[in-house]
Amino acid sequence: MQHVDNEEHWSDHAICRGADPDLFFPIGYSAPILREQERAAKAVCGNCPVTADCLAWALRVGEPDGIWGGTTPEERRRLRRSADAPPRRRLPVIMVRGDVVEDAA
C-alpha cells in the first residue's frame, strides 16, 4: 500500500521525528556508553504516542538496527522468536544401548 501525501502515517506523530538519528542508531561505542545512549533513546520512546505502531512496524519488517518502539535489536529478536515459536514440548528420552540409567531418586 502506498503512502498518499495527504494521508497521515504513524511516523508523522513520532516525537523522534527530527531528532538526531545517531541517538537511535548508536555504533562503535563501548558497552557503558552504548547502554547510556540506548537508555536516552528509550526515554524518548517512553513519551511517544506512537510507540506501539513503531514497534509493530519494526517487528513486521525485521528492522535489524537501532531503537524502534523503545526496543533494541536484541529485544526485538527475542520478541520475534517468542511470537513465532511453536509451544515447547518435552522431548522423549531416547535410550541408546550402553547408556547408563541414573536413579532419579
Bridge-partner residues for 71, per DSSP?
68
Annotated binding-site residue? 16:
yes
Q: Report how far apart, in Å, the C-alpha atoms of 9 and of each of 3, 18, 21 are.
A: 8, 15, 19
Annotated binding-site residue? 103:
no
Diameter over CA atoms, the chain: 73
Residue 101: all three cell numbers together = 540409567
Annotated binding-site residue? 54:
yes
Annotated binding-site residue? 48:
yes
Residue list, annotated binding site for [4Fe-4S] cluster = 16, 45, 48, 54
Residue list, annotated binding site = 16, 45, 48, 54
